[in-house]
C-alpha cells in the first residue's frame, strides 16, 4: 500500500465481512480491525505487573503447564476497562451484532484477556472449548505487534481440517490484525515467538 492513498472501510462493513467469512469458511483474517492505541495501553499494564502466568484446564484443575503454554495473561473486567479497551469493546459489540445477524448464533457476551508471550514462549495445539463447557462459540484474537518481521516467528497456525495436521494457515501477529474462528471447529497453536508478542484474546459466548 506504500504511496497509495488508503481509505479505511467503515467498521460496520468490516464487521459484516468478518461475519460472512465465518459463515462461509468458519474463520476470518482481517488485517485492519482497529488502530493500535491498545499497544501502549497493554504494555503499560504489563510493566505495571498486572499479568499472571496462563494456566491450563478448568475450575479446580487449572494449573500452570509451561510445556503446553508459557504466555502471561491479564483478564479484562468491564469495570476496570481503560479508555482504549472500552473502545475496543465497542468494536467487538458491533462484530457481535453483525455475527448474530449473519448466523443466528445468539451470542450474548464476550470475555477475554490480554496476553503476552515473552521471547521463547508458545502455546501448543489445542481447541478453545472444554468438553463440559461449550459456551464459547467464536474465538477472537487481536494482535498488537508493530514492526513484526517473519524472523520474530510467533505465528498463529490454524488447522483447517479437524485434527489433521494439514492443511493449515499461518497468521503473522501484526498490529491491527483480528483473527476470528469457530471455537469448536478449529485446532490452532501459537508457534514459538522470538520477540515479545502481545495480543487480546477472547471468546464470543452464548448463554450456558
Q: Based on CB atoms, which residue is closest to ligand OGA, 88 or 123?
A: 123
- The stretch near Mn ion (CB under 5 A) out of 18-26, 84-92, 109-117, 125-133 is 125-133
Q: Which residue is nearest to ligand OGA (CB)?
A: 156
How near is the Cβ of 85 to ligand OGA at its closest, in Å?
17
24 Cβ contact partners less than 8 Å away, ≥ 6 residues apart = none
Give me 141's grid cell.
Answer: 484474537
- The stretch near Mn ion (CB under 5 A) out of 81-89, 101-109, 120-128, 147-155 is 120-128
91 Cβ contact partners less than 8 Å away, ≥ 6 residues apart = 11, 15, 33, 34
Residue 128 engages Mn ion in binding (rule: CB under 5 A): yes
Ramachandran class of 92: left when φ > 0, alpha when ψ lies in -120 to 50, beta otherwise? alpha
First-residue to last-residue Cα distance in the chain: 44
60 Cβ contact partners less than 8 Å away, ≥ 6 residues apart = none
Q: Based on CB atoms, which residue is closest to ligand OGA, 69 or 96?
A: 69
Q: Based on CB atoms, which residue is closest to Mn ion, 16 or 197?
A: 197
Q: Which of 207, 208, 204, 206 is nearest to 94 (CA)?
A: 204
Distance separating alpha carbons of residues 23 and 143, to the nearest angstrom: 23
Q: Based on CB atoms, which residue is closest to Mn ion, 68 or 97?
A: 68
- The stretch near Mn ion (CB under 5 A) out of 23-31, 56-64, 123-131, 192-200 is 123-131
How near is the Cβ of 104 to ligand OGA at its closest, in Å?
25
Three-state DSSP at 136 gives: strand
DSSP bridge partners of 113: 75, 201
Task: Say which entry of ligand OGA, Mn ion, none residue 199 contacts (CB below 5 to 8 A, set by partner kind).
Answer: ligand OGA
Binding-site ranges for ligand OGA (CB under 6 A): 115, 123, 128, 141, 156, 188, 190, 199, 201
Q: Based on CB atoms, which residue is closest to ligand OGA, 98 or 156?
A: 156
Binding site for Mn ion (CB under 5 A): 128
Amino acid at each position: 500500500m506504500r504511496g497509495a492513498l488508503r481509505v479505511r472501510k467503515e467498521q460496520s462493513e468490516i464487521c459484516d465481512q468478518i461475519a460472512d467469512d465465518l459463515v462461509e469458511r468458519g474463520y476470518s483474517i482481517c488485517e485492519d480491525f482497529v488502530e493500535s492505541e491498545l499497544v501502549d495501553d497493554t504494555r503499560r499494564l504489563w510493566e505495571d505487573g498486572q499479568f499472571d502466568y496462563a494456566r491450563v484446564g478448568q475450575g479446580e484443575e487449572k494449573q500452570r503447564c509451561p510445556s503446553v503454554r508459557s504466555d502471561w495473561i491479564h483478564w479484562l473486567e468491564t469495570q476496570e476497562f481503560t479508555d482504549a479497551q472500552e473502545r475496543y469493546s465497542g468494536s467487538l459489540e458491533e462484530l457481535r451484532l453483525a455475527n448474530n445477524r449473519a448466523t443466528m448464533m445468539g451470542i450474548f457476551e464476550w470475555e477475554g484477556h490480554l496476553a503476552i508471550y515473552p521471547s521463547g514462549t508458545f502455546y501448543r495445539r489445542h481447541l478453545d472449548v472444554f468438553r463440559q463447557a461449550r459456551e464459547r462459540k467464536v474465538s477472537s484474537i487481536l494482535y498488537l505487534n508493530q514492526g513484526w518481521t517473519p524472523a520474530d516467528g510467533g505465528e498463529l497456525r490454524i488447522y483447517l481440517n479437524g485434527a489433521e495436521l494439514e492443511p493449515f494457515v499461518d497468521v503473522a501477529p501484526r498490529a491491527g490484525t483480528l483473527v476470528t474462528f469457530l471455537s469448536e471447529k478449529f485446532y490452532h497453536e501459537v508457534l514459538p515467538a522470538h520477540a515479545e508478542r502481545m495480543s487480546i484474546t477472547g471468546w464470543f459466548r452464548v448463554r450456558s
